[in-house]
Chains A and B, each alone.
Chain A
Amino acid sequence: MADRSDAELLTDLLTRERRLVSAYEAALRRDVIEASLGETLLAHERAHVAALERTLAGRGDPVASVPSPELTAALRDRRSFALYAKRLEDEIVGLYADRVPRIRDPKLRQPLGSIMTCDAAHVVALKDSMGSRFLVN
């Protein structure tokens, strides 16, 4: 990966976190996620977005979030949505694991890592919601 600024790396993460916020908001509107679980995951993702926005304040380019056609397809039932959300959460955990170590400001790495571990917990929550017997990745 080319040497990228902290602002660029954080912007990548913010874009993905916003996608998760949109997904959980839509899922709750369509009742394709159990309400308590959906509200918890949404609250966490909103907190992640807020933290990233505060960190990015005054740096980086504005981020536009565009609705995904895949999300529309995933909103047809609970299982489809859980599979879609689990994929997004898996992807964002991988993204944090790759990006956080590259952040130049060491003071940011631990709090960003704590978002990664929360998103890893979301993967477990979504697997559990699907009745998966194996929660360990």
Chain B
Amino acid sequence: MAPYVTRREALGGAAAALVLASCGGGDPPPSTGPRPGSGIALLGSLLALERASFAAYGACLDVLSGQARQQVHAIRAQERGHASRLAAVIEELGGTPPPGRSRAEYQRTFPQLRTPEDALRFAEDLEERQVRAYLEAVTEFPALELRLEAAGICADEGNHLATVRVLQGLPPAQGPFVTGAL
């Protein structure tokens, strides 16, 4: 089984990847607690990605209105829920969640969003990145319980990606295999 990755998928997340690598994805994993190989470093990376996405959606809300704003507000609330859950799992494993960054620190790394179209394109890139991160996590987490957590959140991110595509007038899915993008 080898789902293809379209050119759009390959290129689409580049902006978000750049932003997220510089605003949270590169945060160090927790330094104390559980043994190496427990999956805690990957959990820390996913948490950093969720926090950066939460901040990014805040920037998107500043230029959105109407139905798009409502939908993005709902997505943002779910991202906060994901972040809370990941932080709780890190603590359950005996680790300390990474501290995250201030809104201003995140904000400095975001592209300037002038129009609703800018915001929705940025949101799509964010979701492409998140879908890919969770698909990789489902493959890589050593423990079944962590893979189940990742798969559940991945389904949510698939819903978010489709939603921001529909808000742009695009088909909800580009093809039969939604792989996300780096």
Interface residues of A (CB under 8 A from B): 40, 43-45, 47-48, 51-52, 54-55, 93-94, 96-98, 100-102, 106-125, 128, 133-137
A133 to B66, CA, bound (A): 11
Q: Please, how many angstroms separate the alpha-carbon atoms of A107 and B1 in the complex?
A: 9
Residues B1 and A54 in contact, CB atoms below 8 Å apart: yes
Q: Is the beta-carbon distance between A111 and B2 smaller than 8 angstroms? A: yes
**A137:B172 contact, CB within 8 angstroms:** no
Asked whether A113 lies within 8 Å of B154 as measured between CB atoms, the reply is: yes
How many chain B residues sit at the interface, stated as a range, is: 35 or more
Q: How far is the CA of A81 from the CA of B153 in the complex (A)?
A: 28
Contact B159 A113 (CB under 8 A): no
Per DSSP, chain B at the interface is helix
Given that A51-B1, A96-B151, A124-B162 are known contacts, is A118 also in contact with B177, CB under 8 Å in the complex?
A: yes
Contacts of A137 in B (CB 8 A): 156, 159
Residue pair A124, B157 in contact (C-beta under 8 Å): no
CB distance from B142 to the nearest CB of A (A): 10
Q: Which of B118-166 contact A (CB under 8 A)?
A: 131, 134-136, 138-141, 144, 147-148, 150-152, 154-163, 165-166
The answer to whether B144 and A101 touch across the interface, beta carbons within 8 angstroms, is: yes
A105 to chain B, nearest CB (A): 10
Contacts of B156 in A (CB 8 A): 120, 137
A117, B131: Cβ atoms closer than 8 Å = yes
What chain B residues lie within 8 Å of A110 (beta carbons)? 135-136, 138-139, 179
Contact of B176 among A47, A55, A108, A125 (CB under 8 A): A47
Q: Is the interface of A mostly helix, strand, loop or mixed?
A: helix
Contact B1 A44 (CB under 8 A): no
Which residues of the partner chain B approach A109 to less than 8 Å between Cβ atoms? Answer: 135, 138-139, 147
Interface flag for B47 (CB, 8 Å) = no
Q: Which residues on the B side are within 8 Å of A121 (C-beta)?
A: 158-159, 161-162, 165, 172-173, 178
| Of the residues A40, A45, A52, A118, contact of B178 by C-beta under 8 Å | A118
Contact of B74 among A43, A96, A120, A136 (CB under 8 A): A136
